[in-house]
């Protein structure tokens, strides 16, 4: 557990000194999640709360996955944009 704590504090210190890399991490997480949602992977499309379940039942698996995927991809592209714009 001590090694995990050391790694956590090293990562925290790195991100505090280099905040632009947080945007890169956001992009690396959101872009594959968006692509997976658009291809209908169940683990990526699964609705999280009651309002998402409503839209999931209304739109269906495929359309809901495409809409969620587009949102994630836009967030990932925004993260990449911010990564390259900040110094």
Q: In the chain, what are the domain boundaries? A: 19-85
Say how far residue 18 (Cα) sits from the centre of its chain.
20
Q: Which two tokens stand for residue 45?
A: 């499309």
Residue 49, SS3? coil
- 7: Cβ contacts below 8 Å, ≥ 6 apart: none
- Would you place residue 1 in the very low, low, confident or very high pLDDT band (cuts 50, 70, 90)? confident
pLDDT at res. 34: 96
Looking at the predicted structure, is the pLDDT value of residue 87 above 80? Answer: no
Could you tell me which of 84, 74, 81, 82 has the C-alpha nearest to residue 34?
74
Average pLDDT over residues 54-75: 96
Average pLDDT over residues 5-11: 94
Average pLDDT over residues 18-42: 95
């Amino acid at each position: 557990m001590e090694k995990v704590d050391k790694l956590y504090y090293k990562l925290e210190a790195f991100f505090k000194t280099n905040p632009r890399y947080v945007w890169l991490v956001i992009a690396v997480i959101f872009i594959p999640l968006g692509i997976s949602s658009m291809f209908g992977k169940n683990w990526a499309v699964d609705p999280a709360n009651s309002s998402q379940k409503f839209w999931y039942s209304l739109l269906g698996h495929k359309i809901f996955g495409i809409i969620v995927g587009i949102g994630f991809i836009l967030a990932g592209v925004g993260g990449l944009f911010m990564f390259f714009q900040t110094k």
